[in-house]
Amino acid sequence: MLTVPGFALITGAASGIGRATALAFARAGAAGIHLADRNSVQLLDAIDEVKSAATNPDFKTSMSGTDIADAQQVDTMVSTAMKAFGRLDYAANIAGVLETSHPTAELPIEEYDSVMQINSRGAFLCMRAELAAMRAQQAVARLPSRPAVRGSITNMGSILGHIALPTFTSYVTAKHSVLGMTKAAAATHAQEGIRVNAVCPGWVETELSKNSAGATKEWESILAAVPMRRMASCEEVADVVLFIASEYASYVNGAAWTIDGGRTVV
């Protein structure tokens, strides 16, 4: 059975994929999880659910209401997790936003900036602070015949980091940048015992996707291009995050794992 016996930090943990990821880590034996999100009310509810799901008898939680586009708030988030747990073994940077549909020529600059601030800058700020914390801690060997490591980071990419979707310029641009920073960090910090990877979901059934502009009208045509003819569940994405983060994926580094029901192969 896959286990993650260390301490984790998960952003976007109040709902959707982030919440499902926190639950997956709790069920897999995590020693503690720091949950971060802008929505502090939903975050409190998520913590209760995560505590109930935990299988480690010594399980701990901490939390922070964090805007990941704010460097000071991100640094506080990571320092709070370190104070609570003493180390950080896994980080899953799930937080992000969607955008409304615009032809590139009509895209409001303010909306472009807003999406990039969270989905690109926010991912970078989180990864930067997490790397600093992991570099400063001792490497630990958790599985036989595997090397001692300092930690692993998993960023939230998208299949739109590989391909484009018309009228979603900001999101496509941001997700391409996430894959770039993931690869650069993976190459830079591998010899320090830190792995950095990304997951690249296709269409996922979340509150964000349900409420996106024109969702009802557009989803039928979008899913017609998916061989499995459905969206992923949040849990299906979370389980891949869990595996990549774990020591069972100890030779996976700089990867961008596609979770899209076959969308990008047709």
Strands 151-156 and 194-201 turn out to be: parallel
Contact assessment for residue 7 and residue 31, using Cβ atoms and an 8 Å cutoff? yes
- Tell me the H-state helices in 71-214: 71-85, 109-116, 123-135, 169-189, 207-211
From the list 5, 37, 8, the residue with the least C-alpha distance to 133 is: 8
Residues noted as catalytic: 171, 175
Distance (Å, whole) CA 54 – CA 62 = 14
Least Cα distance to 188 among 254, 123, 255, 126 occurs for 254
Quote the crossing angle between the two packed helices 16-27 and 40-53, to the nearest 10°: 30
- In whole angstroms, what is the distance from residue 242 CA to residue 237 CA? 9
Structure token digits, residue 231: 């969206």
